[in-house]
Amino acid sequence: MIDFCGSPVINKDHWLYWGSRVLSTSEASTSNVLEQLGLESEFPQHLLPDGKFNVDGFILACDVSKETVLHSNHVINIAKSIAKTKKPIVIAFTKCDEMSEECKRHYMTLFLATKELKHVLCNLPPVETSAVKNVNVEYLFGSLAMLCLRSQKLVKKPPLAYHEASLFVEQRNLHVKCCFSTLLSQAVPLCVYPKKCLSWKQVLADIDRHPDLMNFVEVFGSRMAFEMYERYVSEAKELWAMNRSVFGKMYWMDPIVPIVI
């Protein structure tokens, strides 16, 4: 939102994101953020009511891929304003996949010099995130939820630095993809193709609610799951055609000669 400060984009006729959060007295919480840029008409729109409304906490999003004086001033002005509410605040460094270390140091210096943010930095250091790579996003919203539920008590687990968190996400994604690939090979074995070639609907019926499928869909989405199935079937078809061609040539070059007694 800082990037659009003073623009008609925010709180007008253009919606960038709609996020929803559910908090309860337990430690469980859920967060959903849906990208709607260009698809606004396909999602329900909930307008803020006129007048005052309740806010549980704030995420101060700071783009560390670029540094401008105007952007810096907006960040500090917004930080001072929301600090007056005495509500929990978590600082998020965004676009860390394009992060400038100089820019990051610049904002840390600004935050440390801003007395209104000293208590914020004591609770939790800035969380280095990347929405594109889904790095530290869940931690960001989860930490804010915990601060809201615990009346600004310290979150015990500090955030991972971006490069460390990014490596963890890459390794997790690779593991999830390998597990789902194995699941597909079990549902549609190559050795019985094309005698047993199940449609995607039939495959889903066989592996529905399987943990490996659920994990894959949670990380990559249902569309990517279908695309992996299509690639798998395509590779199975190519392998079958290649084996058929090889065995056909072997039969032609080395025919079986009957033995006459």
Secondary structure of 56-72 in HEC code, one letter for each residue: CCEEEEEECCCCCHHHH
Q: State both tokens at 183.
A: 């699941």
Beta carbons of 92 and 129 less than 8 angstroms apart: yes
Domain boundaries, the chain: 2-159, 164-253
The pLDDT, as a whole number, for residue 187 is: 84
Per-residue model confidence as pLDDT tens for the chain (261 residues): 444 454 444 444 444 444 444 444 444 444 444 544 555 566 676 777 777 778 889 999 988 887 777 778 888 889 899 988 888 899 999 999 988 888 888 888 888 888 888 888 887 899 999 988 899 998 999 888 888 887 545 566 788 899 999 999 999 999 999 999 999 888 887 766 666 677 888 888 888 889 999 999 988 888 899 999 888 888 877 777 776 666 555 444 444 444 444
Residue with tokens 């800035």: 126
91 three-class SS: strand
| Distance from chain centroid for Cα 93 | 16
Rounded CA-CA distance 114/126 in Å is 14
Domain 2-159 falls in which CATH fold? Rossmann fold (3.40.50)
Tell me, what DSSP letter sits at residue 93? E
Q: Are 120 and 91 in contact (CB under 8 A)?
A: yes
For the entire predicted model, the pTM comes to 0.66
